[in-house]
Amino acid sequence: MTPSLPSYERWGSLVGKRVLVRVDFNTPVDVIDGQLEVTDDFRIRATVPLFEDLLERGATVVACTHFGRPKGKVVEEYSVAPVRRRLATLCPRVELLENLRFNPGEEANDRAFGEALVAGFDYYINEAFSASHRAHASIMIPPLLVPSAAGPNLQREVATLQSLLEEPARPFVAIVGGAKVKDKLGIVKVLADKADTVIVGGGMAYTFEATQGRSIGSSLFDASYLDECAKLLERGNVLIPEDSRGLADGSAFGSGGGPDEVIEFGAAIPDGFEGLDIGPRARQSFVNAIASAKTILWNGPMGVFEDPRFSTGTEAVARAVAASDAVSIIGGGDSVAALQSYGLEHDVSFVSTGGGASLEFVEHGDLPGLKALRESPCN
């Protein structure tokens, strides 16, 4: 079990103190009436109670976040201006610094950048669970320099994931999807040890299917992982799609959709065709496995669900997870977006703010940002 994280409660009164809070306000934005506006303020609203508590204790509160991936340069479309506007309506007394990633020192974990960031502050709080898998300056350096604490949402996310890993009610069914086998293989391996069943769907599943001698047409495929995928299947508790649906090569797909005819392939996808969603038999067997679960962890869609023609697998999984009375933990922007689009986000036990971070936590049992807080020499 990972040791507990330091809390800010121990600081007592904060009158006259300056507190730097690292948040993750990397929120979706869209152009509305000619300017970028936040379209989902879940991450901002979730942080307001912390801000209010700190203000009530007398602190001056300054928040900092990354926003998109401007790669160390000032890029106007990645300015935090829209986030600032939304924050001002929710909690006007908190200042938000400009995008940390405008400075190359952030991602380089540059000591001098971290020092400049925290200069003039008495305390540091990390309330950015979803960025704590990144060993970046704003996550790693402040705990070396000032007394530091974990924010309440970060603490809750860690505790939830920890209890899932330590004593899951069984059967424990994990569902892993997404495009790239390279990104998710590590987590599938860990989950194959911990869970009773691991369901694998999405683009990554085709490499698993190929190990069984099944033709996958021009579906996503990564030959360098064939052996590892084959070994995982030998364990007997990794469930892959029996069939799939998709399009002929060259057809239009994606959020714009297209007029091309959707084909149900069965188990084999012919040359010249691409699988983009799980098929009806896979849907049924996944739904059955989910229905038997007492604990569910879901990360990643079952297909190109942004295109409504290929959302059937993801929707079936989302509905099965929501209908279950198992403890259900959902991580990852895509799975959360899918749940929200079906109005099911309140029918699961816990929605994690961090996709990458929650997977890395499950895989490694810790994150660089959590370690930095625990090992702060100033605490």
Looking at the annotation, which residues are catalytic? 43, 180, 333, 356
Binding piece for Mg ion, criterion CB under 5 A, among 15-23, 48-56, 308-316, 354-362: 354-362
Q: Distance of CA 247 to CAs 217, 253, 261, 274, Å?
A: 10, 8, 7, 6
Distance separating alpha carbons of residues 200 and 21, to the nearest angstrom = 37
Q: Which does 26 bind (CB under 5 to 8 A by kind): Mg ion, ligand 3PG, none?
A: ligand 3PG
Which residue, 244 or 358, is less far from Mg ion as judged by CB? 358
Q: Token match 């090992």: residue? A: 375
Contact 3, 158 (CB under 8 A): no
Which residue, 183 or 345, is less far from Mg ion as judged by CB? 183
Note whether 134 binds ligand 3PG by CB under 6 A. Answer: yes
- CA-wise closest residue to 158 among 2, 283, 268: 2
Contact 369, 134 (CB under 8 A): yes
Tokens of 253: 């797909």
| Given 28, 30, 39, 69, the residue binding ligand 3PG (CB under 6 A) | 69
Q: Which does 295 bind (CB under 5 to 8 A by kind): ligand 3PG, Mg ion, none?
A: none
Decide: residue 179, CB within 10 A, 0-12 exposed, 13-18 middle, 19+ buried.
middle
Which residue, 134 or 245, is less far from ligand 3PG as judged by CB? 134
Q: Closest-CB residue for ligand 3PG?
A: 26
Q: Could you say which residues in the range 255-294 bind ligand 3PG, by CB under 6 A?
A: none
Which residue, 130 or 324, is less far from ligand 3PG as judged by CB? 130
| Given 239, 356, 360, 361, the residue binding ligand 3PG (CB under 6 A) | 356
Q: Which helix (H) or strand (E) holds 83?
A: helix 81-90
Q: Token match 């295109």: residue? A: 307
Minimal distance in Å, beta carbon 338 to Mg ion? Answer: 15
Contact set with Mg ion (CB under 5 A) = 356
